[in-house]
Amino acid sequence: MFAQRLRALRRGQNLTLKGLANGLNKAFPKDPHKNTSSQIGNWERGLRAPSYLEIKKLANFFDVSMDYIAGRTNINQHDLAKMLIANHNLLFNDQELNDEDQYQIYQLIDGYLTGKNHRQYKKHNGHDQQEDLNLNLK
Domains in the chain, please, with CATH?
2-70 (1.10.260.40), 80-130 (no CATH)
Count of other CB atoms within 10 angstroms of residue 93 = 4
Identify the CA nearest to 40 among candidates 32, 52, 48: 48
* CA R_g for the chain: 22
> Are the C-beta atoms of residues 5 and 71 closer than 8 Å to each other?
yes
Checking if the pLDDT of 9 tops 90, the result is yes
The pTM is what? 0.57
Convert the pLDDT of each residue in 119-129 to its tens digit. 666 556 666 55
Identify the CA nearest to 70 among candidates 50, 85, 90, 88: 50
Which residues 6+ apart lie within 8 Å of 118 measured at CB? Answer: none
What's the pLDDT score for residue 30?
A: 92
